[in-house]
Structure formats: structure tokens, C-alpha cells
Amino acid sequence: MRTSSVTAGQAPEFNWENPYLLLTPGPLSTSPTVRAVMLRDWCTWDDEYNLGIVTPIRDGLVRLASASQPQLFTSVLMQGSGTFSVEAMIGSTVPQDGKLLVLANGEYGNRLGRIAATLKIPHLIHDTGELAAPDLGKLEASLAGDPAITHVVCVHNETTTGMLNPIKEIAAIVKGRGRTLLLDSMSAFGGIPMDMAELKIDFLVSSANKCIQGVPGFGFVIARRDELMKCQGRARSLSLDLYDQWQGMEKGHGKWRYTSPTHVVRAFAQAMQELEAEGGVAARYKRYSENQRRLLNGMESLGFRCVLPRELHSPIITGFHSPQHPDYSFAKFYQELKSRGFVIYPGKVTNIDSFRIGTIGHVFPEDIDRLIKAVQASMYWV
Ligand SMILES: *Cc1c(COP(=O)(O)O)cnc(C)c1O
């Protein structure tokens, strides 16, 4: 029985096992060892925390971002969910007289535009809709025709649909035209091999609870040092000032400017070690790809159809059309699956009735095989 009762002065009774797998990144399912290391408290100004935990995380992130030239980059950790770090990146990099071009093809791309609008940053949005890749010709033409544009921002893996955007091609155009490139790599970093130096990406954001498989509570920005150096005084927010947060961490040897989520940070250090033990990003990419391959094959054998064509897909998350049956409801299907140990996501694509299943986290091909059996057993409308 999963009961928990808290009485003052007594440890609560608690079943530590997860009742179901989260296929809803994020948060996502984490390993028992990542969860276990949160069971002690840390002092935010002690070296044990700052030198022992925060600094190795910062260094490790830089090595994950660029194996070829890590010395070009630095990393800044930021409190809050992933969006806080995206907002910190956009708000702290575009100068007062700058202009931002946003490439949007889904909910997260639209959010980049909303951040720019809220911060009153001059911007324009290229929206290609949720089912199409960014328009590279239009990007090239805008950069050629509008010298006011200083920065370009786009999403790496658009989690709305699971579409993997062509960042290599985008980066070649943006850097070829001498602009600064910002990337929301929230749901791709750590799960899809990449090298920021080779791709010439200037700033990248991800968060603790995506492919590195930590728990939610902070995000991080990996930045080219020479580009971040230019950002002093540009921020439109005190707490989300990326440059100041960076300076604080550099001078304080890992100290965050304001209270950091210590338990979450400790869990993330464990998650980074587990990523390395698994064989790094290449091995994780392989596992996620195998998860998704089994998911696609299994779901198609049950009669489900993908929202996106296979070739546009990342191994991170997959959207499926809802069954066209009068008795089908997502809410009921969700409950059926949950009772069998799996939690899934509703769809997010406008005008398409769909649902999504994530394949990242502490989730293995055998789990996906069990999921397919659970889906079959949950198809109450058949
Ligand atoms: C998860 C995610 C975010 C951040 O979402 P939060 O809820 O703020 O953590 C941003 N962009 C993408 C592409 C994501 O997948």
C-alpha cells in the first residue's frame, strides 16, 4: 500500500517505489540512486557543496557541450524550471539596440516569441506551423535583408511534436551571416550527440529534468565565454541576469547568487555520473532510439499512426493520432494506462486530436515492451 502519514517528530511511512513510469518529459522517471542522494541537507556557502558538487557539474556540462573545444565555453546554472533559463538567456544576451529573429514551429518556439514580447525586445517571428521544419531560405533572406537582426533563437527538439530541427543547417546560415545563435536545447541536450564548437552555437539552454535525468528545479546555460563577456549590463531582470549569475559563480567558486535548490543540485551531480557510467551521450542516444523504435513498431502494430513522418522524428517524444472511435476519450485511456503503471501526455498540436509518449528518462527497451502490452490491454474501445 502506498500510504504516507506525517506526524510531528516521526519519520513518515512511505513507499519509495514509483507507482508508475513517467513517459511525460519532463519531469521524467529518475533512477532510485538519483532520488536517494537527496536525503541529506547541504550548506550553500560550504566548499563541500560549491567545490564538491556545483563546480564539477559546471565543468561536466561544458565537456558534454563540446568535447572538441571545451575551453571556449562556460556554464551558468539558474534556479527555476527550464523556461526561467530560456528567459535569462534571451533577456541577458540581446542588447538594447539589438533585434531577435525567432524560428517557431510549435509551442516552445512560440514561447520564445512570447518571452521577447514580454521583455519588449524588438523581434520578428518566422512561424512555419507545427508540422513543418523551419524555412531555411526565408531565414537566409531575412538575415541578408535586415541588418538590424543581431540574434537568432530556435528550438532544438520541438517537444510539441517531437520534431528534431535542422540546427546544423540553421547554424551554418546564422553564423555565415555573422549573427549570434541561441538554442533552446531543453529536451535534446544530453540525449542527442552534438558539439557546440563544431556547430558554432553561441548559447544553449537545457534543464535538470530532461535528458540528463535529474529532478526538476534548475536550468543551465552553456555559453561561449567571449560572447557571455559582452553581456554585462544587458539583462532586463535582476534575478535572471545571466552575466551576474556567471560572475557570482566564478568568483564564489560555485556559489549561486541566491539560494540554490541544494537537493536538486546534489541529485543532478549523481545523474551526471550515471550518464557517464552509461557510456555518455552516445550510449544514451542509442537507448532512447531503441526505446522509440520499439514504441513506433509496437504502436503501429496496434493500429496507431504517428503525427509526424518518421524522418522528422527525434527519439525523445512521439505524437500519435487519437483513435477515431466514438467511445475513445484520452482521459479514460490515460487512467487505464496509469492503472497499469504508465503515465502519458496529452497532445499539444493544434487541430489534431493526438497524445504523446516520451521515451527518455530512466526507461529501458524492456519497459517499452511492457508499455505496448499495457496499451493493448487499455484499448477499452476496441
Ligand atoms: C521542457 C521544455 C522547456 C521548458 O519547460 P519548463 O516547463 O519551463 O521546464 C522549454 N523548451 C523545450 C523545447 C522543452 O522541451
**Domain chopping of the chain, boundaries:** 32-277, 280-378
Ligand 1, atom 6, residue with closest C-alpha:
82
Instruction: Look up residue 168 and give its amino acid.
Output: K
Q: Which of 28, 83, 112, 205 to mutate to test the pocket of ligand 1 (most atoms within 8 A of CB)?
A: 83
Alpha helices in 45-193, H assignment, sequence order: 47-49, 55-65, 82-93, 107-118, 136-145, 167-176
Q: Say if CB 56 and CB 47 are below 8 A apart.
A: no
Q: Say if CB 189 and CB 25 are below 8 A apart.
A: no
Q: Report the C-alpha gap between 245 and 349 in whole angstroms.
A: 35
CA dihedral 200, 202, 203, 204 (to 10 degrees): 0
Q: How many residues does the chain have?
A: 382
pLDDT score at 313: 85
So what CATH class is 32-277?
alpha beta
Q: Which atom of ligand 1 is nearest to the CA of 84?
A: 8
DSSP character string of 87-128: HHHHHHHS-TT--EEEEESSHHHHHHHHHHHHTT--EEEEE-
Ligand 1, atom 12, residue with closest C-alpha:
186
Give 214 Cα–ligand 1 centroid separation in angstroms. 14
Q: Which CATH number fits domain 280-378: 3.90.1150.10, 3.40.50.720, 3.30.590.20, 3.40.50.970?
A: 3.90.1150.10
Q: Report the C-alpha gap between 99 and 376 in whole angstroms.
A: 50
Give 239 Cα–ligand 1 centroid separation in angstroms. 19
Residues flanking ligand 1, CB < 6 Å: 26, 81-83, 86, 108, 155, 159, 184, 186-187, 207
Q: What is the mean pLDDT of each run of 10 residues along the chain (382 residues)?
A: 54 79 93 96 96 98 98 98 98 98 97 98 97 96 98 96 95 98 98 97 98 98 98 98 98 97 98 98 98 97 94 91 95 97 91 94 98 98 93
pLDDT score at 17: 82
pLDDT score at 5: 52
Give 348 Cα–ligand 1 centroid separation in angstroms. 13
